[in-house]
Amino acid sequence: MTPLTQQSIAWIPRLTEDGSFTFFSEVFNETFHSRQGAKQEAFLKFAQATDLESRSQQSHLRLLDVCYGLGYNTAAAIETIWATNPDCQIEIYGLELDETVPRAAIAPPVLEIWTPKVQEILQAIAQHQVCKLPHLNAKLLIGDARQTIQHLTDLDFQADAIFFDPFSPRRCPQLWTVEFFRQVAKCLAPEGKLATYSRSAAVRSALLAAGLNIGTIPMAGVQRSHEWSQGTVAAFDAGRLHPLAQMEQEHLQTRAAIAYRDPDLSDTAATILTRHQQEQQACTQESTSSWRRRWGID
């Protein structure tokens, strides 16, 4: 039995604050993007966080989009790279559970936020799960990412940038485990970066356990006490990362930092969550509520 299953519902666009659109998943009870701005999130937390503008001077870039969804992270990456170097050869693999999501995302008005060339690319990927152009080779693999990523590890695929964008850990713990991150890390090039919107201590601990170093995506401008980071960037080379603040480092010493586990990459969400809860209850580390009080986090 595959614990990640597809859904058959009508995808209704929801407007976000930057004028772009997202969808709401009834299965995971979450939207695909932040309400502050779906397009903005794709550029800030993924394309910019993995240094694609500066790396676009390379002749060839390889990208891995884990949980492709509406295709926004892939689209933002392509626009960022080709705005600097239109001759850069881009190779992309996307992993997606439900093929109806990218298909729904190529309908107006969702698609219209992108340049005409990127619109054509997203349409081809959604309709045919492949897009081949003179400077682009993109392929979408449909199914449980815990299985489809095996195709990439078998190919020894090495990505310069990995966009890690599943639903939140509490909603989709299957894709935030130590074991899955180890598979993903096999697909990261030695000089590559992985970016995710999550600042969860459990996620950061899992990345560390997978053999990666971690850094933060710092907040811009004035922020409230509970807004200490916009996400996490991981890499093999710690020197290329923005270091965690003291508060974030101490977060990794609390019970919140107990990582999710899925030993055989086949457990259901309920099984993973139950195991995680039991490990937290048995843990003797500082409680997360105590850490929050110490740092004055609302």
Tens of each residue's pLDDT in the chain, 298 residues: 334 544 456 799 999 999 999 999 998 989 999 888 999 999 999 999 999 999 999 999 999 999 999 999 999 999 999 999 999 999 999 999 999 999 999 999 999 999 999 999 999 999 999 999 999 999 999 999 999 999 999 999 999 999 999 999 999 999 999 999 999 999 999 999 999 999 999 999 999 999 999 999 987 754 555 577 899 999 999 998 999 999 999 999 999 999 999 999 999 999 999 999 999 999 999 999 999 998 888 7
What's the rounded Cα separation, in Å, for the pair 104 and 213? 36
Give domain status of residue 29, yes or no.
no
209: Cβ contacts below 8 Å, ≥ 6 apart: 178, 181, 182, 259
Model confidence over 260-290: pLDDT tens digits?
Answer: 999 999 999 999 999 999 999 999 999 999 9
Residue 11 lies in a domain: no
- Domain membership of residue 9 (yes or no) is no
Residue 7 covered by a domain? no
pLDDT confidence of residue 35:
86
- Does 6 map to a domain? no
Pairing assessment for the beta strands 14-15 and 21-22 based on DSSP bridges = antiparallel
- Report how far residue 65's alpha carbon sits from residue 75's, in angstroms, rounded to the nearest whole number: 10
The upper half-sphere exposure of residue 30, i.e. CA atoms within 13 Å in the direction of its Cβ, equals 13
CATH number for the domain spanning 134: value is: 3.40.50.150
Q: How far is CA 116 from the centre of its chain?
A: 25
Question: Residue 81: which domain range?
Answer: 38-293
Q: Which two tokens stand for residue 141?
A: 């693999």
Residue 44 lies in a domain: yes
Whether the pTM exceeds 0.85: the reply is yes
Looking at the structure of the chain, the number of domains it has is: 1
On whether residue 28 sits in a domain, the answer given is: no
Strand partners, 177: 260
Identify whether 15 is part of a domain.
no
H/E element, 43: none
